[in-house]
């Protein structure tokens, strides 16, 4: 089996999700399979460590969906791949549908699990905010858009003897990059936190945010928020969890005053342990929580803070 993985970059090096995708592709390909990488505008030496037979690379340049799409189309046209794998990222959502359309290939999106059987690929996807799991299958060759966490990342680096194939000069593009806003280097990456405390509309007043932040610190975690909290300006955008925010998979997710809208569940449904606190016992969040209590967050928060402080000594 021959699989092409599109590599998303951050500061010129492969992202954690890209490393997950390569590890997953390696397991799907099995013994004797071939993994090849499309690393457009990045550091080929960094990609060598991912363990692939070939790496297609180009001159470093800003992300451009038209140019990247043309590069990928050239790679796919000249090489026969059984699977072409993208992460569910901004660039993946840009490129995968176009590539599938141009090559008349089936596209399986938002995959949370992938299986191969003969010449068929089968994928699970969460729908209705994680309430249901849909299973679809397609004949290969096919294109996959895979969610973060669907595959586990390999421990350590793989053999670094990949053949580097330099792509020709960047195709003429109809897109002109006006500016690129880099993320704040001091901002916390909530996707890497093992413990998250999420505040929702039921937190009450903005003054409660500071106490929630103190509790998150005592937990050894980070504070995050649902969309209403972010829209109100109580927490910055990079701390939003949900479909329009970040998708997280912490070991512990404490939801305070979060109702559990499908869009929010899509961002945190894969957490190891979910604990919900909400006055509304019928709130949808309880359908996803492992533990919960129908109490007022205003009563719970100070009591929990006191208990954590006592435990900390």
CB 241 within 8 A of CB 225: yes
CA distances from 179 to 64, 65, 91, 176 (A): 12, 15, 17, 9
Print pLDDT tens along the chain (313 aa). Answer: 899 999 888 777 788 888 889 999 988 988 778 899 988 877 677 777 787 888 888 876 777 788 888 888 888 888 889 999 999 888 899 999 999 999 999 999 989 899 998 889 999 987 775 667 899 999 999 999 998 878 877 654 565 677 888 877 766 777 777 877 766 666 778 888 999 999 999 998 888 999 999 999 999 999 999 999 999 999 988 899 988 788 888 999 999 999 988 888 888 877 899 999 999 999 999 989 999 999 999 999 999 999 998 887 7
Enter the tokens of residue 305: 């803070």
pTM: 0.72
Pairing of strands 222-225, 195-199: parallel
Residue 118, phi-psi category: left (phi > 0), alpha (psi -120 to 50), beta (remainder): left
Tens-place pLDDT, residues 165-188: 887 776 677 777 787 776 666 677
**CA 205, chain centre distance (Å):** 31
Enter the tokens of residue 6: 């599109």
CA distances from 106 to 7, 82, 103 (A): 20, 11, 9
**CA 71, chain centre distance (Å):** 24
- Structural domains of the chain ordered from first start: 2-166 (3.40.50.620), 190-312 (3.40.50.1220)
């Amino acid at each position: 089996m021959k699989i092409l993985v599109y590599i998303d970059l951050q500061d010129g090096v492969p992202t954690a999700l890209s490393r997950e995708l390569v590890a997953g592709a390696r397991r799907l390909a099995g013994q004797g399979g071939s993994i090849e990488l499309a690393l457009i505008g990045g550091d080929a030496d960094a990609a060598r460590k991912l363990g692939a037979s070939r790496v297609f690379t180009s001159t470093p340049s800003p992300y451009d969906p038209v140019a990247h799409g043309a590069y990928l189309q050239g790679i796919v046209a000249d090489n026969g791949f059984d699977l072409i794998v993208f992460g569910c990222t901004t660039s993946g959502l840009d490129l995968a549908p176009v590539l599938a359309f141009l090559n008349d290939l089936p596209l399986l999106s938002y995959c949370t699990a992938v299986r191969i059987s003969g010449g068929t690929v089968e994928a699970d996807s969460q729908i209705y905010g994680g309430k249901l799991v849909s299973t679809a299958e397609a004949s290969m060759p096919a294109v996959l858009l895979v969610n973060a966490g669907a595959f586990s990342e390999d421990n350590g680096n793989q053999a670094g003897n990949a053949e580097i194939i330099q792509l020709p000069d960047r195709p003429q593009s109809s897109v002109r990059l006006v500016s690129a806003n880099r993320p704040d280097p001091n901002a916390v990456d909530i996707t890497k936190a093992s413990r998250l405390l999420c505040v929702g509309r039921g937190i009450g007043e903005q003054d409660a945010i500071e106490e929630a932040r103190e509790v998150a610190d005592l937990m050894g975690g980070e504070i995050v928020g649902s969309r209403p909290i972010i829209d109100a300006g109580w927490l910055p955008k990079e701390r939003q969890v949900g479909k329009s925010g970040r998708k997280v998979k912490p070991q512990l997710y404490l939801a305070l005053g979060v109702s559990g809208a499908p869009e929010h569940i899509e961002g945190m449904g894969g957490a190891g342990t979910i604990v919900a606190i909400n006055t509304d016992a019928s709130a949808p969040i309880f359908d996803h929580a492992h533990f919960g209590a129908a109490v007022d967050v205003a009563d719970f928060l100070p009591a929990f803070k006191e208990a954590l402080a006592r435990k900390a000594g």
